[in-house]
Homo-oligomer: A and B are copies of this chain.
Amino acid sequence: MPDHAPDPLRRNERSRQAILDASIALIGELGYDKVSIEAIARRAGVGKQTIYRWWSSKGAVVLEAATHSLDPVVSFPDTGDFAADLRTQLRGILKLIANTGFGSAYRGLIAAGQSDPELLSALFDQIIEPNVQAFGRRAALAQERGELRDDADVQALRDVVYGFVEYRLIHAMPIKPRHIDALLKIAFDGVR
């Protein structure tokens, strides 16, 4: 009965999803440092070798888990108001941090990356660079339409925005919607 034959691709996708979910959940409970590949495999209901077949290290699987959990919230809406659309995206990231292990996973990756340049560079390529591109496209539209000044330094603006959020995350300071509002007021209206 070919209709009921196991589909190795589908099975792999189900295992992959279980491994990524288990990584974020466990790190949320225990912190990055206390979670092992063995514990992730156990929670995901797969063998340790299944993880090592697809990822070279704990950093690699957690990076994919973090990237995957960011996916649904990281894109920019386009309502014709760049500041409002940024606020929407940032509030999505705040909710992800508040409700899942994403923030702990990201902090663990940043920490591990300080003595592992390959991991830091993979984090840049998989999380930061796609955001640089998406932010740049949304900002270019905003500049065409006058939502953003023509001469605004778009890449510096991006670093201001995510630098603020990452700084508060890394230093274990609370990040609430009012902090995002204060950030965007400064970045869009200036303090002078």
Q: Does A72 contact B (CB under 8 A)?
A: no
Chain A residues within 8 Å of chain B by Cβ, number: 49
Q: Does A53 contact B (CB under 8 A)?
A: no
Are B153 and A159 neighbours in the complex by a CB distance under 8 Å? no
Q: Does A141 contact B (CB under 8 A)?
A: no
Main secondary structure, interface of A, reads helix
Are A171 and B128 neighbours in the complex by a CB distance under 8 Å? yes
Are A187 and B187 neighbours in the complex by a CB distance under 8 Å? yes
How many copies of the shown chain assemble into the complex?
A: 2
Distance, CA A112 to CA B111, complexed state (A): 7
Binds B, one of A15-23, A43-51, A113-121: A113-121
Q: Which listed residue, B128, B159, B179, touches A164 by the CB 8 Å rule?
A: B159
Q: Which listed residue, B110, B160, B170, B192, touches A183 by the CB 8 Å rule?
A: B160
Are A153 and B188 neighbours in the complex by a CB distance under 8 Å? no
Q: Hey, which chain B residues are within 8 Å of A159, CB to CB?
A: 164, 167-168, 173, 179, 183
Seen from chain A, the residues whose Cβ lies within 8 Å of a Cβ on chain B are 31-33, 83, 107-108, 110-115, 117, 120-121, 123-124, 128, 147-149, 152-153, 156-157, 159-160, 162-168, 170-173, 179, 182-183, 185-192
